[in-house]
C-alpha cells in the first residue's frame, strides 16, 4: 500500500520504531572526527559539524516537564534506525528531535497521571533485549563496547531508563486514543473523501500453510538433562555451591552469563505459565526440582521475594537430538510431501494428522499473520525468510523441504504451500472494508493525538535550545 506520510503520521509511525535515551547528565563532549571512534551516523552528524570537523554530540537541547533531551539522543536514534535497516537519508535532525520531544511529553504526563510500569516488566523486556543483542553480536563484551559503555552493568542501567521511558510513553499514547472508535458511516465518509487517483493500492497478499516435523527427543536425552539438573540442585542445596556460578557455567540460555540468569518476575511477566507457576510456588531461598517448558528443562532459585514480585535465577538445559532421529524426521517429511504431491493426501489433512507445530496443525497448517491477526500476508511486508520460501510457489504447489531451527536451536523440517492469493489491486470499499476501517481509525487516532499534544504543550514547561529554534516542528514546541 502506498501513502504519502504527513508529519503527524510520521510521528505516529516513528513512535513504534524508535528507542530513546534518557539521561540525567548535563554535559558537553566534543569529539574530533580524526579519532578512532567509530561513528555509525557520521553522515547525519556532519550536519552539525563545525569548519574544523568537530561536532557536538552531547548537551541538553530540550526540556519537557521533568525530562531532558540530549544532543546525543538524536545520534543514538539514528543508530537505532540504521540497525533496523530503516533509511535515514530523508529524516532530518529536527524531525527526530521533535519525535523525542513527543516521547518526553508522553512520559512526563504518564507520571503525572500516575501510570506505573512494573519494574519486573521492564526487567523482563530488558532481559529479552540484551539476550537478542548478545545473540547478534556474540558476547556481552561486544554488546557494551558497541554501545560505547565500560561494562554491561552501565549499559543495563541506561537501557533500563530507556525502556521505562518508552513504556511510559507508549502507555500514555494508548491512553490518549484507547476510546477512539470509528462507525461504519465514518469509514464510508473517510473512503469517499479520498480522490480516485489517490486511492491506496493494496499489494499482493498470500495465505500460507505449513507442515513442521521435528526430530523426536528420546527419553534418554531428556533424562540426561534432568539428571544433570538434579546434580546441580543437590550441589547448591546440600553443599552450598553458588547458583549463579551454575548458571554461568552450565545454562543453555543465550546471554544467561551476562546477568547470572537473574529475572525480575511478576504474574504478568512475559514468561510461559509453567515457569511462573513453579517460581511462585517457591519460598525465598528455595531451589525447584527440574521441570519442563517448551524451551527445555529448568531449575529455578528464588533469590528475593518483594510483594507480588520476585527475583529468580534459573538454569536452562536443552536436550539434544541424535543424528538417527534427525534422519528419521527428514524421511518422514519427504514421504509426506510425496503423498501430498501425488494426491494421496491433502496438505490440510497431512498437517492435522502429522505436523508437530501445535499452533497451526488443527487449522490445516494455516499460518496467522502476527501483525494483523488474520491469515493474509502482504508479500512486500512478509518476513524475508518466509517470503523467500513461498515467493515463486504457484497456488496449491508444495515447496521443497526446508531445514529450520526452533527457538531452542533444534533442527526441524518443514514444507509450505500457498492456499490463497490476492493480487495487487486498488482499494475497493466492499472487498477491503477491514483495511479501510483501520486506515480511518488511524486517521482519527492521529487527530486525537494532535489535539492532546496541542493542549499539553501549552500547559507543560518546555525549553528548546537556540540551536534548534530554526526547526519547523509539526507541533508548537517553540510555543510561538
Q: What is the pLDDT of residues 101-131, one digit of tens each?
A: 999 999 999 999 998 887 777 887 788 778 8
Same domain as 256, residue 277: yes
Same domain as 404, residue 256: no
- Whether 13 is in a domain gets the answer no
| Domain boundary pick from 255, 290, 317 | 317
Name the residue among 68, 67, 176 with its Cα closest to residue 455.
Answer: 176
Cβ count within 10 A of residue 85: 6
Same domain as 344, residue 209: yes
Through-space distance between the first and last CA atoms of the chain, rounded to whole angstroms: 37
| Domain boundary pick from 271, 295, 317 | 317
Residue 42 has pLDDT above 60, yes or no: no
Average pLDDT over residues 326-336: 94
Q: What is the pLDDT of residue 18?
A: 36
- Whether 448 is in a domain gets the answer no
Domain range enclosing 410: 204-215+322-423
Q: What is the pLDDT of residue 229?
A: 96
Lowest mean pLDDT among 47-51, 143-147, 260-264, 337-341: 47-51
Q: What is the pLDDT of residue 83?
A: 67
Q: What is the pLDDT of residues 256-302, one digit of tens each?
A: 766 777 888 887 777 888 999 999 999 999 999 999 998 899 999 99
| Domain boundary pick from 293, 317, 341 | 317
pLDDT: is 345 or 22 the higher one? 345
Q: What is the pLDDT of residues 379-437, one digit of tens each?
A: 888 888 888 888 889 888 999 999 987 766 778 999 999 999 888 999 999 888 988 99
Same domain as 345, residue 209: yes
Domain count, the chain: 2
Report the CATH number that the domain containing residue 225 is assigned in CATH.
Answer: 3.10.50.40
Q: What is the pLDDT of residue 408?
A: 67
Q: What is the pLDDT of residue 306?
A: 83
Selection from 21-30, 142-151, 183-192, 305-314 with the highest mean pLDDT? 183-192
CA angle 390, 391, 393 (to 5 degrees): 60
Same domain as 240, residue 228: yes
Sheet bearing 402-405, strands edge to edge: 376-378, 205-213, 411-422, 402-405
Residue 85 has pLDDT above 70, yes or no: yes
Same domain as 407, residue 327: yes
Q: Are strands 205-213 and 411-422 parallel, antiparallel or unpaired?
A: antiparallel
Selection from 54-68, 206-220, 242-256, 396-410 with the highest mean pLDDT? 206-220
Amino acid at each position: 500500500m502506498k501513502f504519502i506520510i504527513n508529519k503527524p503520521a510520521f510521528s505516529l509511525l516513528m513512535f513504534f520504531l524508535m528507542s530513546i535515551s534518557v539521561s540525567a547528565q548535563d554535559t558537553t563532549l566534543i569529539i574530533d572526527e580524526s579519532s578512532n571512534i567509530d561513528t555509525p551516523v557520521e553522515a547525519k552528524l556532519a550536519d552539525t559539524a563545525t569548519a574544523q570537523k568537530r561536532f557536538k554530540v552531547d548537551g541538553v537541547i530540550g526540556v519537557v516537564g521533568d525530562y531532558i533531551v540530549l544532543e546525543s539522543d538524536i545520534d543514538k536514534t539514528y543508530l537505532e534506525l540504521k540497525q533496523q535497516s530503516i533509511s535515514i537519508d530523508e529524516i532530518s535532525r529536527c524531525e527526530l528531535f521533535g519525535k523525542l520531544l513527543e516521547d518526553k511529553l508522553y512520559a512526563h504526563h504518564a507520571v503525572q497521571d500516575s501510570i506505573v510500569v512494573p519494574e519486573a516488566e521492564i526487567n523482563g523486556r530488558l532481559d529479552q533485549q540484551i539476550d537478542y543483542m548478545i545473540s547478534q553480536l556474540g558476547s556481552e563484551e561486544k554488546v557494551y563496547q558497541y554501545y560505547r559503555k565500560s561494562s554491561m552493568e552501565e549499559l543495563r542501567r541506561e537501557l533500563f531508563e530507556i525502556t521505562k521511558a518508552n513504556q511510559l510513553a507508549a502507555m500514555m499514547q494508548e491512553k490518549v486514543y484507547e476510546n477512539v472508535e470509528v462507525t461504519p458511516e465514518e469509514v464510508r465518509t473517510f473512503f469517499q473523501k479520498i480522490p480516485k487517483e489517490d486511492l491506496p493500492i493494496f499489494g499482493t497478499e498470500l495465505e500460507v500453510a505449513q507442515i513442521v516435523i521435528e526430530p523426536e527427543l528420546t527419553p534418554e536425552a531428556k533424562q540426561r538433562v534432568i539428571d544433570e539438573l538434579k546434580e546441580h540442585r543437590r550441589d547448591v542445596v546440600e553443599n552450598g555451591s553458588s547458583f549463579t556460578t551454575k548458571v554461568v557455567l552450565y545454562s543453555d540460555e543465550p546471554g544467561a552469563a551476562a546477568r547470572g540468569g537473574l529475572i525480575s518476575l511478576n504474574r504478568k511477566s512475559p514468561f510461559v505459565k509453567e515457569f511462573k507457576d513453579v517460581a511462585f510456588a517457591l519460598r525465598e531461598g528455595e531451589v525447584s526440582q527440574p521441570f519442563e517448558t517448551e524451551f527445555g528443562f529448568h531449575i529455578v532459585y528464588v533469590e528475593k521475594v518483594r510483594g507480588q514480585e520476585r527475583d529468580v535465577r534459573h538454569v536452562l538445559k536443552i536436550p539434544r537430538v541424535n543424528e538417527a532421529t534427525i534422519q528419521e524426521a527428514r524421511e518422514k517429511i519427504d514421504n509426506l510431501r510425496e503423498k501430498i504431491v501425488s494426491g494421496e493426501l491433502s496438505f490440510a489433512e497431512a498437517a492435522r494428522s502429522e505436523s508437530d507445530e501445535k499452533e497451526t496443525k488443527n487449522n490445516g497448517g494455516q499460518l496467522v499473520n502476527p501483525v494483523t491477526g488474520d491469515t493474509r500476508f502482504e508479500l512486500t511486508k512478509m518476513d524475508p525468510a518466509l517470503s523467500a520460501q513461498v515467493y515463486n510457489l504457484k497456488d496449491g504447489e508444495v515447496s521443497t523441504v526446508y531445514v529450520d531451527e526452533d527457538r531452542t536451536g533444534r533442527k526441524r523440517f518443514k514444507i509450505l504451500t500457498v492456499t490463497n492469493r490476492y493480487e495487487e489491486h486498488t482499494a475497493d470499499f466492499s472487498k477491503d472494508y477491514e483495511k479501510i476501517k483501520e486506515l480511518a481509525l488511524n486517521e482519527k487516532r492521529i487527530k486525537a493525538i494532535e489535539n492532546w499534544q496541542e493542549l499539553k504543550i501549552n500547559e507543560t514547561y518546555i525549553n528548546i535550545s537556540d540551536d534548534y529554534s530554526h526547526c519547523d516542528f509539526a507541533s508548537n514546541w517553540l510555543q510561538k
